[in-house]
Structure 1
């Protein structure tokens, strides 16, 4: 048989290569982290930054202080999740984004974005 005119079965479809080889969920999360840090760096004044840390950073002392004043314990509902979105500076953010891209990409490809 002649192989002329036949195409191999495993040929990828012709098209453009993606700009980012990261999964969409990883790229979106990196965008969210950068946007949060940009907003906290350039929009908030020192008082606003203190309020951001007070309400969204995980502070274990809240567990003990919540026994005397329940208002101090309320942020314990969301701070176990929101503390990961805050960073101490640009170097901290960039190193975390590099590690996130390296390790989250195979996990996302294996298990999905959910």
Structure 2
């Protein structure tokens, strides 16, 4: 019995199905790109990777599809990863931060948030590429994962307000945006996240890829765009569940009673 309880407490087994399905998709595409040969990898990057040049020039070497394909690639670039390290890091963070967000929002809103964060991350990277002229194609789900981290930061450091089987995720009050700068744990988390992204973004080899398949750099600007989208959007998507007293779970009973 104890072994069963311990196994059920493992994060991978407690992850919502939508998170596990998303992980399976990412793993499947990476296996295809790794074991399908270099020619297939080039085709996948050209077809699914986000090429900033599509949006403000004729593209690299006359890429087919133009800006219309570029719009599709704002989302599809998340399916590919530059290396096993890139995929594993995104997978670990997706499990850690995506699971509580998915439990809080439900599968549909979770996927909507994830895709919007990917899109915002892509937009930010395109803007920087336009300014800097650094036109390397972008791949990876890091923008979406960063968005989930941003969303989780709005409630992960709050106090548990009511008893619930999933109280660690659902019982925590969603912070108002105006409260975020005043919460030291939240700001410390954001600061550490920013430092890590800037460090690995400038020095690490996991985020972007050239058509030949070699990793070049982390698309850290896409991370920033996704994180900002996540921290902003979760407040619009969440519909707070009712607490045991019958009031909204994100406020104390006395506050709810006075607002009736």
CA contact (8 A) 1:56 1:83 kept: yes
Q: CA deviation at 1:66?
A: 4.5
Conservation of the 8 A alpha-carbon contact between 1:65 and 1:73: no
Report whether the alignment pairs 1:40 with 2:33: yes
Q: Report whether the alignment pairs 1:49 with 2:49.
A: no
Residue-pair matches, total? 99
User: Highest relative contact order (Cα 8 Å, sep 6+), 1 or 2?
Assistant: 1
The ranges of structure 1 where at least 4 consecutive aligned residues each deviate by more than 6 angstroms after the TM superposition are: 67-70
The alignment's TM-score, normalised by the length of structure 2, stands at 0.35
CA offset digits 1:80-112 (Å, max 9, x no partner) = 111111100101100000011111111100010
When normalised by structure 1's length, the TM-score is 0.75
Residue 71 of structure 1, CA deviation: 3.3
Aligned pairs for 1:90-109 (under 5 A) are 90-109=84-103
TM-fit CA distance, 1:65: 2.8
The gaps in structure 1 that reach 5 residues or longer are 1-15
Q: What is the Cα-based RMSD across aligned positions, in Å?
A: 2.6
Per the TM alignment, residue 64 of structure 1 is displaced from its structure 2 partner at its CA by 2.0
State the Cα distance separating 1:20 from its structure 2 match.
1.1
- Larger-gyration structure (1/2): 1
Which structure 2 segments of 5+ residues have no match?
109-260
> Which residues in structure 2 correspond to 1:75-86 (within 5 Å)?
75-86=69-80
Matches within 5 A, 1:12-31: 20-31=13-24
